[in-house]
Structures are given as structure tokens and as C-alpha cells.
């Protein structure tokens, strides 16, 4: 158990809908990262927050947005969902901002868009 | 954009064999290199974080080296055990601008 929690574990929704994925980092960690793993693809970095502020952006679509709240939990919002958005979405947390800190991954949320 | 490659794509070894695989990158223009172990149906687990001026890292039977001049990192497993079976990922931290994962090496250790 990494100490990172993600909810829900599974999510099934229809095209065009909007969903919110939630992540609670390990106690004391200030950085939260979001990743997407689609079928037959590797892990793709989406976005990073540090202490409430967006710090880095990867291959995140404009239909996706995220935020980190004062209690440091984070939410990833996916809207106008398409079939291709079906994937496993991971959240990870680390102690600090710099890349020298290990990232601890949550169990993931599996999103299925039908 | 950083491009991270890993080889081999998959590997089968016998229990007790030692093995190693490679993470290669075209440029040493990054902040840190991470190694992860990812078992099926679980989440990636951090093994090592290697900085550009760092030394060899070791955790039990697993160790890693980084050669920034030649553009690669090696992960070694000594005396492989069935529980070492997993996909091993490397990832580069691009100075906090991006985090790029390689495709992974899938290791199967046969008893």
C-alpha cells in the first residue's frame, strides 16, 4: 500500500459525459501527478500540481482539467468523453517539487467509455 | 521532446540467473532518471531515483547504474526469483517540465 488513494476504482460512462476522478496523496506529500495508460500504450504524463499550483503539463487534452485543493487532494475532470478516453488513470504523489523525489502511485481508476 | 527507449522488450530467465536491461536516452538534458517495478494488476513501485551526478543505487538484489556520457542506464537483478517477474520502467524527469516513461521491459522468471 503506497498511501495514495484514488476513487472510484472503476467508472463506466457514455460518450459525451463528464467524470471526476479523485486522488488523495500520501500524508506529507505536496506534489500530485496524473498519468494515463491507454490500451497497448505506456504511461503518459498528464499534469503535475505542487502545493495547489499547476507546475507541469504533459499530453493533457483541452477536454481534461485538474486541480489541487488546499487539503492537497486532487481531482482530474474529463469532459466530452470519447471512446478513446477509456484508460487506466493513475495518480502519484511525491514529497517535493523536484524530480529527485520518488513518486508513489495510487491503485488507479479504470475508466470505460461506452 | 525526450525519447526514452528500453531494451529488450521482454525477457525470460530461469530462477537464479542474473539479468540486466537497458534504458537509453538521446540526451542527458534531464534532471533525474527513475526506475519503477510494475507487477501485473498492481501500480508502479518506485525502485530508484538517479541524478546526473549520482552513484550506483542498490536495493537488495537489484542495482542500477547511470552513464550520462553514453546515454544509458542499466538495471541489474542478481539471482532472479519468480517474484521479480514484472515490467520494469524507466522514466526521465525533464527539469520539471515533463515526465517521460519508456515502454518498459517485461521480465518473466521461470521457476
pLDDT tens-place string over residues B12-45: 999 999 999 999 998 777 888 999 999 999 999 9
Do B53 and B68 meet the contact criterion of CB atoms below 8 Å apart? no
Q: Enumerate the residues of chain A whose CB falls inside 8 A of the CB of residue B98.
A: 45, 56, 58
Confidence of residue B1 (pLDDT cuts 50, 70, 90): low
Q: Which of A10, A98, A43, A26 is nearest to B31 (CA)?
A: A98
* Alpha-carbon distance A48 to nearest alpha carbon in chain B (angstroms): 9
Cα torsion through B7, B10, A6, A104, rounded to 10: -50
Q: Give CA separation, B87 vs A8, A32, B3, B7, B104, in Å.
A: 25, 23, 19, 12, 6
Q: Enumerate the residues of chain A whose CB falls inside 8 A of the CB of residue B2.
A: none
Confidence of residue B55 (pLDDT cuts 50, 70, 90): confident
Q: What is the rounded end-to-end Cα distance, in angstroms, of chain B?
A: 41
pLDDT at B87 over 60: yes
The predicted pLDDT at position B2 comes to: 67
Restricting to B residues 12-51, those with a Cβ less than 8 Å away from any Cβ of A are 30-32, 34, 42-46, 49, 51
* Alpha-carbon distance A92 to nearest alpha carbon in chain B (angstroms): 9
Q: Any idea which residue has 505536496 for its cell?
A: A30
- The dihedral built from the CA positions of residue B81, B84, B86 and B88, taken in this order, carries a sign that is negative
- Mean residue pLDDT across chain B: 91
Q: Enumerate the residues of chain B whose CB falls inside 8 A of the CB of residue A56.
A: 96-99
Which residue of A42, A99, A108 is in closest CB contact with B101? A42
* Alpha-carbon distance A78 to nearest alpha carbon in chain B (angstroms): 20
Residue B84: φ, ψ to 5° = -80, -10
Do A105 and B93 lie within an 8 Å CB cutoff?
Answer: no
Low-confidence ranges of chain A (pLDDT < 50): none
Numbered residues of chain A with Cβ closer than 8 Å to any chain B Cβ = 2, 33, 42-45, 48, 55-56, 58, 90, 92, 97-108
The predicted pLDDT at position A15 comes to: 97
pLDDT tens-place string over residues A68-89: 999 999 999 999 999 999 999 9
Residue A85: φ, ψ to 5° = -80, -10
- Which range, of B5-14, B29-38, B92-101, averages the lowest pLDDT? B92-101
Amino acid at each position: 500500500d503506497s498511501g495514495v488513494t484514488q476513487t472510484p476504482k472503476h467508472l463506466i460512462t457514455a460518450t459525451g459525459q463528464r467524470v471526476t476522478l479523485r486522488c488523495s496523496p500520501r500524508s506529507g506529500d505536496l506534489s500530485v501527478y496524473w498519468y494515463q495508460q491507454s490500451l497497448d500504450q505506456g504511461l503518459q504524463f498528464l499534469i503535475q500540481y505542487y502545493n495547489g499550483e499547476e507546475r507541469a503539463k504533459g499530453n493533457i487534452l483541452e477536454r481534461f482539467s485538474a486541480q489541487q485543493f488546499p487539503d492537497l487532494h486532487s481531482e482530474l475532470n474529463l469532459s466530452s468523453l470519447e471512446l478513446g478516453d477509456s484508460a487506466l488513470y493513475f495518480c502519484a504523489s511525491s514529497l517535493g517539487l523536484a524530480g529527485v523525489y520518488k513518486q508513489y502511485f495510487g491503485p488507479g481508476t479504470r475508466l470505460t467509455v461506452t | 521532446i525526450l525519447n526514452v527507449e528500453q531494451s529488450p522488450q521482454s525477457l525470460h530467465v530461469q530462477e537464479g540467473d542474473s539479468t540486466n536491461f537497458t534504458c537509453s536516452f538521446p540526451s542527458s538534458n534531464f534532471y533525474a532518471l527513475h526506475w519503477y517495478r510494475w507487477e501485473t494488476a498492481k501500480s508502479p513501485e518506485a525502485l530508484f531515483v538517479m541524478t546526473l551526478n549520482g552513484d550506483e543505487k542498490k536495493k537488495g538484489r537489484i542495482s542500477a547504474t547511470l552513464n550520462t556520457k553514453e546515454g544509458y542506464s542499466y538495471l541489474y537483478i542478481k539471482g532472479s526469483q519468480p517474484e521479480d517477474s514484472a515490467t520494469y520502467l524507466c522514466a526521465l524527469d525533464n527539469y520539471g517540465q515533463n515526465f517521460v516513461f519508456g515502454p518498459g521491459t517485461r521480465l518473466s522468471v521461470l521457476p
